[in-house]
Amino acid sequence: MASEQMTVAQLCAEVKAAAPALARAPREIKDAALQALADSLEARSAELIEANALDLAAGEAAGLSAALLDRLLLNKERIAAIAAGARQVAALDDPVGELIEQRELENGLRLRKLRVPLGVVAVVYEARPNVTIDASALCLKSGNACLLRGSGSAEHSNAMMVEIAADAAESVGLPRAVVTLVGGGRDHLAELATQQGVVDLIVPRGGEGLKAALEQVATIPVLYAASGNCHVYVDRGADLQQAAAITLNAKVQRPGVCNAAETLLIHRDVAAEFVPSIVNQLLDAGVELRADEATKEFAGAELGERLVDASDSDWGTEFLDLILAVRIVDSVGEAIEHITRYGSGHSEAIVTQDEEAARAFELGVDAACVYVNASTRFTDGAEFGMGAEIGNSTQKLHARGPIGLRELCTFKYVISGDGQVRA
Amino acid sequence: MASEQMTVAQLCAEVKAAAPALARAPREIKDAALQALADSLEARSAELIEANALDLAAGEAAGLSAALLDRLLLNKERIAAIAAGARQVAALDDPVGELIEQRELENGLRLRKLRVPLGVVAVVYEARPNVTIDASALCLKSGNACLLRGSGSAEHSNAMMVEIAADAAESVGLPRAVVTLVGGGRDHLAELATQQGVVDLIVPRGGEGLKAALEQVATIPVLYAASGNCHVYVDRGADLQQAAAITLNAKVQRPGVCNAAETLLIHRDVAAEFVPSIVNQLLDAGVELRADEATKEFAGAELGERLVDASDSDWGTEFLDLILAVRIVDSVGEAIEHITRYGSGHSEAIVTQDEEAARAFELGVDAACVYVNASTRFTDGAEFGMGAEIGNSTQKLHARGPIGLRELCTFKYVISGDGQVRA
């Protein structure tokens, strides 16, 4: 492949030139490419595992942690799961060409608002090589040519997967460049993030470091899938059994993800009953609790001993771990204020049977997803019935919440007339 | 007012603090504010004209051109028109709370996607003081607190209008700060454009200079209402009478606006018939034509003399004047290529009775608005039935085409359950 010798700008120009063919491709062609991609991943899994072994060896030599090496690892099962993901994307409805709105204007013009691909989408991500195929599949299906910039630690795995994806595109008559790998260091990221008029969107999938790096240099639109500092608020009108189940699920079921809860807010009126019980259950589940003074008092002397004093910084921290901050509030209004101050606009839950409190929380909390009597863990493209997603946006513009196929599209107005001119 | 002594960051914080009250305000309150605003503009028109006289005097002393002074001028008629505009916005549907989508998930969760205000919107604009009220009205109705940064040349007029708008907000129980003026120079613009987490969106209404200034400094989302380099393509399948009417309307009816045509593309097969006639009509209308060699040949020796040779830069220029570039193409594909290369993604028209050509153009042209057999001049919020607009976006993210009330909103998912947790 020539891509090794090309500059990032040249690579991007090549991808842009390839984009219209994919943007116009009918569903059958795109789905056939996804099927070919899935089949080929499985057929060539031995080759892919060999490429991955090179990354693993380099990672070991570089002293990567066992956890990072596990993230990097591809085996037959994982490859089969990645292929299955691509087939699931093929089964989703085609967002391209969807009629979003139409109306006939008084002058007889017929106005249609149609969903169309963005054009060229860059995805920047970290260790896990499966993102290479997940992102390729979502971009192919949504009609977007894609530039993929994975981690240097997965370079051999990513190169092989992009080759497989480009082969699949070629096998159905699409240009190979609709799936293109971008290598290199931070300079290359800056070059990628300033391709105005060529790259239509960058989606970073990674931590705050990547976000900060992009904020400094990007001149093209970025869709940040930012961190989730999510809250569960147990209102005085809560069914306390429901509240316990939701709290435990939101914190414990998978603590390392962005829709897990990081702070529990409890209304003072139910604290005497709820605090001792939930504290016991959370401690039993291995959760470290960082509590305010009032929570410690409600927990009682013995249980209170087992709680860590919350510091101010705890309210704003996304622990991504078995740690939960706990605070007593006097009203739903105070809960909303706390969330407004510390939340990241991701997923926020209230537990209550009181409709007025639920309505106040729904209206007052400014977040992508506001839950009433359900766990924050449902914020997910698949759970929402949107199919696969490329991340969760905490931005307000364009896409908020799960970034699925539709969110990777824009629209155009097509206006048809019979000679209308403006008076 | 304290605003003179406050920093931009302090002003923005004050506006953000005021925003939730407006975001939650029901339609009746917002409409009452708009009516009060309109009434008060008329009742206080003498005061406003006095303030405006200060700006006009300063402008004259500074040697502003007659055209700029006219833009600056407020008189009774203009104030009445501005008030009528605010009343029209009051009559529009409230976008806030609109149910965009809803579904029940298999686990019984009810998911609703609801339209909500962005929060705090900054509008940066140039000479015309009417924008102060137009933008205030659109922001009030869409539930967004707004920061207005007009031209220094209109400072007295703008200050008085913002006072009237803030009074109107206060008269219905909203915080005054929901409409706030930001003064100062370029430094202040940079401070405004970096208020992450405070200002949700900046909408610049102005020329390329303003756009370039913002691109360099902005870290918060910007919705550029960029320039329009629009094309009319007369296909070989065109009804040539329709083609002439559309071409004339798109160029001549109001040449100084972004949806006016700047280049005419003509299929070679109809050029012999169409060129002499359209050239005559355009010249009669006072249009300077910058033509390629082929157009001059089709025009014939005598008429060809009256055409200016097009230079390469003409294809990419938004003339905003009675100037039109003209070029002969061999196919609809070549027209699409020309538009892809030189267009700004605003409004593009094909004139044809050939459905295949129309379909190819609709699919192949990547622009906010694609017209078949109609003038590009229809790209406008009011013409599209969206009500008033704050500009036309040529971006692909969030809003494309007219930026109306809905485009000044985001959405949130509200998910209601009865204790669902994730398995």
For the segment A48-62, what is each residue's pLDDT rounded down to a tens digit?
A: 999 999 999 999 999
B421 and A395: CB-CB below 8 Å? Answer: no
A20 touches chain B (CB under 8 A): yes
The ipTM estimated for the assembled molecules is: 0.93
Please choose, from the candidates A185, A168, A166, the residue with its C-alpha nearest in 3D space to the C-alpha of residue A176: A166
Residue A229 contacts residue A342 (beta carbons within 8 Å): yes
Q: How confident is the model at residue B226 (pLDDT cuts 50, 70, 90)?
A: low
Hey, are the CB atoms on A418 and B373 less than 8 Å from each other? yes
B311: contact with A, CB 8 A cutoff = no
Q: What is the least distance, in Å, from the CA of A347 to any CA of chain B?
A: 9
Q: Do A413 and B370 touch (CB under 8 A)?
A: yes
In chain A, the domains with their CATH numbers are: 2-225+402-415 (3.40.605.10), 230-383 (3.40.309.10)
**Contact between residue A407 and residue A115 where contact means Cβ atoms under 8 Å apart:** no
- Judged on CB neighbours under 10 Å (0-12, 13-18, 19+), B127 is buried
Strand A323-329, strand A288-291: pairing:
parallel
- Look at residues A213, A211, A250 and name the one whose alpha carbon lies nearest to residue A350: A250
Can you read off the two tokens belonging to residue A47?
A: 């080759």
**B chain contacts of residue A385, beta-carbon cutoff 8 Å:** 103, 105, 111
* Predicted TM-score of the model (pTM): 0.92
User: What confidence tens digit (pLDDT) does each residue in A102-161 have?
Assistant: 999 999 999 999 999 999 999 998 878 999 999 999 999 999 999 999 988 999 999 999
CB A72, CB A127: distance < 8 Å: yes
Cα–Cα dist A174/A144, whole Å: 12
pLDDT tens, position by position, A365-409: 999 999 999 999 999 999 998 888 898 998 999 999 999 999 999
Rounded Cα gap, residues A318 and A344, in angstroms: 9
Q: Can you name the residues that pair with B181 across neighbouring β-strands?
A: B148
Check B398 against A401: CB less than 8 A apart: no
DSSP assigned state of B342: H
Q: Read off the amino acid at residue B285.
A: A
Q: Are A346 and A228 in contact (CB under 8 A)?
A: yes
Of A244-248, B183-187, B252-256, where does the model show the most confidence?
A244-248
Closest chain A residue to B120 measured between Cα atoms? A396
Contacts of B385 in chain A (CB under 8 A): 103, 105, 111
Q: Which of A191-195, A285-289, B1-5, B343-347 is predicted with the least confidence, judged by mean pLDDT?
A: B1-5
Burial B375-398 (b: 16+ CB within 10 A, else e): bbbbbbbebbebbbbbbbbbbbbb
